[in-house]
Amino acid sequence: MLAKRIIPCLDIKDGQTVKGTNFVNLRHAGDPVELARAYSEQGADELVFLDITASFEGRKTFAELVKRIAANISIPFTVGGGIHELSDVDRLLNAGADKISVNSSAIRRPGLIDEIAKHFGSQVCILAVDAKQTEKGWWCYLNGGRVETDKELFAWTKEAQERGVGEVLFTSMNHDGVKTGYANEALAALADRLSIPVIASGGAGVKEHFRDVFLEGKADAALAASVFHFGEIKIPDLKSYLCAQGVAMRR
């Protein structure tokens, strides 16, 4: 079994870390630079920074904040939000990001994935997918979960893989912030269909949820926010627990 990754996520709005439930009811969760430094020191494997209103507000991600966070951490760093063209990617990589994630812009213009993979390499490009389970299956949303699209989860991620994305970050909108566990059935189906790593997001509440997402959901990495931001789960304790449960973890 390849070593699994634990990834805290900083959802940023107006320069501050926030966290909501099912993509709404946002509350303040702390200073992003301080949180990032703490996670790096606690043994997080990577860090994700998502400017959650950049696409909706039609603006660029805060490069200055990215620069400040990058200067305070020593782990791989992914940045997403408001990325529409190669110059945006270049700007964020120069600010200290190791990878970038695209979501709304890739749905609107799938060729963006090809361009990023060709110019910067697949390892730089992560496809973030916000999807909701409805009566007709799993469908993708854009603009921070505000707008339903005609993209079906499994078809879209498969297309993105063929276009060159290096990883898929799948957030279940049904599970986001409710802390009842990840969407393991959908995650396992994704893992079976794709040959690139799948990062699970949405639903972490207790340590057992991380165990289940790796063993049942077949995820390569587990992303979480509020359980880390509010001190409900400590990353060193989580990694020790997972190792004891037979999950291979990065040290």
Known catalytic residues? 11, 130
Eight-state DSSP code of residue 3:
P
Angle between helices 207-215 and 235-244 (to 10 degrees): 50
Q: For the chain, give the number of residues.
A: 251
What does the alpha-carbon distance between residue 6 and residue 210 come to, in Å, rounded to a whole number?
9
Two tokens at 151?
């993209």
Residue 164 region by backbone torsions, left for phi larger than 0, else alpha for psi between -120 and 50, else beta: left
Two tokens at 213?
């997402």
62 contact partners, CB below 8 Å, separation of at least 6: 12, 15, 51
Two tokens at 223?
């992303």
* Residue that the structure tokens 């200055």 belong to: 64
